[in-house]
Amino acid sequence: MEEKRVHVNEKYKDSIFCILYQDDKERQLELYNSVSGKNYTNADDLQVVTLKHAIYMGMKNDLAFLIADDLHLYEHQSTVNPNMSLRLLHYISKEYEGLVESRKLYGKEAVELPTPYFVVFYNGTTKYPERKILRLSDLYKASYEGKAESDGNGVKVEDQSSDSEKIGDILEKESPFLELKVLVVNINPGQNKEFLKECTTLQEYMEYVVRVRRYRAKMELEQAVNRAVDECIKEGILEDFLRKNKAEVVAMSIFEYNEKEVMDYIREEEREIMRDQVNHLCRLLLNEKRYDDLERSTRDRDYQEQLFKEYGIDIVCEGEETF
């Protein structure tokens, strides 16, 4: 029987981070131990379940694995993206879909799931906190800030409320009903030093990245990348990995850096156009003395878009950050 092949959009390239970790279980185990604080020694305890050959919502999963009763999903990002919780919701849904037989969803017995953990390693040049929790509920239009978090014990609703309590009140009290948290860890120099000391591979990867950035400010990109690679090999920084993958690392570093510069330029152009559009709308509303509409448009994005359509102003959407 002919093997089925999944079509993969070739424009989504693996990053150096992915290549560094994707086929090396010893590195994966080192990363897991550093993140979790555990001390596993047998790499065979770790089962890789990365979504290698599938792209969802135009994004590709970096690293996922099962160990004990836990499911860890790790992502590497170099630009700030507040939507990582939503991306990882897509990923974990596909992971569970692959781990659980669909027929069991309709059975009388509760399905046992591995506990998920989500971590993003951030190394972009935009200033970012040392550590930050991103929540899916942060993206909801309704704000849940200040709400008490669930105790996670699955207490029955009737044990917490009386017969006279309205269904709507229960919904409001228990919201949000869907939550997902992501820990973003800043791995730039000076950030999370103790963590990086425990994870030599990640620390050395950042040393390579820092050198490329430093030399890029002084010379052509290709020259900067080659110098960084050669120096790291000479000084024993990711030496084996860089020796085996030198050509691919050089090509990928150049691609990633050029792509970021182009996207930064495009985003800045889009921001300029968007500012012009908003200023034009403000002038029109002021001329017609629609002061209430002007005030509302500054805090209600949907209403602002309605006004754009009303005045026939073409909207240019600012490009998404991809971390």
DSSP character string of 12-45: SPPPHHHHHHHT-HHHHHHHHHHHH------GGG
pLDDT exceeds cutoff 70 at 31: yes
- pLDDT (average), residues 282-298: 81
Nearest-angstrom CA–CA distance, 59 and 321: 12
Q: What is the DSSP letter of 50?
A: -
Instruction: Estimate to the nearest angstrom the gap between the alpha carbon of 280 and the chain centroid.
Output: 35
* pLDDT band with cut points at 50, 70 and 90 for residue 42: very high
Q: Which helix (H) or strand (E) holds 102?
A: none
Q: pLDDT-based confidence at 52, cuts 50/70/90?
A: low
Q: Where are the domains of the chain?
A: 7-138+169-198
191-235 pLDDT per residue, tens: 999 999 999 999 999 999 999 999 988 998 889 999 999 999 999
Provide the pLDDT for residue 13. 43
The CA radius of gyration of the chain, in Å to the nearest whole number, is 24
Distance CA 119, CA 50 (A): 14
Cα gap 185→119, rounded to integer Å: 7
pLDDT of residue 6: 30
Is this model's pTM higher than 0.85 or not?
A: no
Residue type, 259: E
pLDDT in tens, 142-170: 765 545 444 434 444 445 556 678 888 88
Assign 60 a pLDDT band (cuts: 50, 70, 90).
Answer: low
**Tokens for 35?**
């993140």
The pLDDT of residue 246 is 92
Distance CA 16, CA 246 (A): 11
d(CA 293, CA 299): 10
Higher pLDDT, 44 or 159: 44
Where is pLDDT greater, at 164 or 174?
174
Give a three-class secondary structure readout of 131-149. Answer: EEEEEHHHHCCCCCCCCCC
Q: Kindly indicate the confidence band of residue 22, based on its pLDDT and cuts at 50, 70 and 90.
A: confident
Q: Does position 237 have pLDDT exceeding 70, yes or no?
A: yes
Between strands 70-77 and 115-122, the pairing is parallel
CB of 196 closer than 8 Å to CB of 203: yes
Residue listed under structure tokens 């820990």: 183
Q: Is the pLDDT of residue 112 over 70?
A: yes
Q: What's the number of CA atoms in the CB half-sphere (13 Å) around residue 251?
A: 7
pLDDT average, residue stretch 243-249: 91
Q: 277 versus 40: which is more confidently predicted?
A: 40
- Rounded Cα distance, 188 and 35, in Å: 16
pLDDT band at 171 (very low <50, low <70, confident <90, very high): confident
- The gap between the terminal CA atoms of the chain, to the nearest Å, is 41
Report residue 304 CA to chain centroid gap. Answer: 28
Strand order in the sheet with 46-48: 46-48, 63-67, 70-77, 115-122, 181-186, 131-135
Q: What is the pLDDT of residue 12?
A: 33
- The model's confidence at residue 102, banded by pLDDT at 50, 70 and 90, is confident
Structure tokens at 256: 């990633």
Average pLDDT over the chain, rounded to whole?
81
